[in-house]
Amino acid sequence: FIEDNQKTLTYILGGLILVLLVVIGGNRYYLKPLNEEAAADMYYAERFFEIDSFNLALNGYGTYPGFLNVMDDYGMSKAAKISKYYAGICYHQLGDHETAIEYLNKFKTKDLLVGAAKYSTLGDAYVELGQLDQAVSAYETGIDKFENTFSTPIMLKKLGIVYEDLGELDQALETYRTIESNYPTSPEGNEIKKYIGRVESKQSL
């Protein structure tokens, strides 16, 4: 087979080597410098974000670019990708919940804390818009995919409150009891008995 198809196999092998060289060269000579430049440009946007100057963080100030500029200028960079998350948080804090949802849904991550923060904010934005079923879905996704001892009890508490607002008291009680059982030493766990008592009072009416 090799003798009969030597020419074709040579072309295929050469093509694979060329693709490999393009990928390696692209990472070394394009993506790496791009990521470094984008990270440098994003520095002040992050500083604005840290001091809750969300409009400046989004749009920049003078020669300092904001997250929206980073996304436009460095679309393939890591900084541009994380800027979608930052932008979603900023829009939510500024009261533009629909745009916040748009950007947060574009952002993908495997990081436990960042992923949990994304879905927690998504749920909050849906609550602000009165879309409680979507809020439930967002919180549940964050709880299921990004479980951690810091964020999960926070989202469980938010989820329980939304269940109460929907009149789904059994679900609310189950959610609060999950905090009581699994996260008793968290700030939410320390005060969860009053939420459990509130739901039980509603159920007895």
Residue 81 CB contacts under 8 Å (≥ 6 apart), including other chains: 107, 108
Handedness of CA 9, 14, 19, 21 (dihedral sign): positive
Q: 0.75 exceeded by the pTM?
A: yes
pLDDT tens string 39-77 = 888 889 999 999 999 999 999 998 899 999 999 988 778
CA dist., res. 143 & res. 126, Å (int): 16
- Of the candidates 125, 164, 165, the one whose C-alpha atom is nearest the C-alpha of residue 142 is 125
pLDDT tens string 6-46 = 656 566 666 665 555 444 544 554 456 557 777 888 889 99
Q: What pLDDT, on the 0 to 100 scale, is given for residue 78?
A: 86
* Residue 196 pLDDT greater than 70, yes or no: yes
CA dist., res. 112 & res. 117, Å (int): 9
The H or E element containing residue 22 is helix 6-26
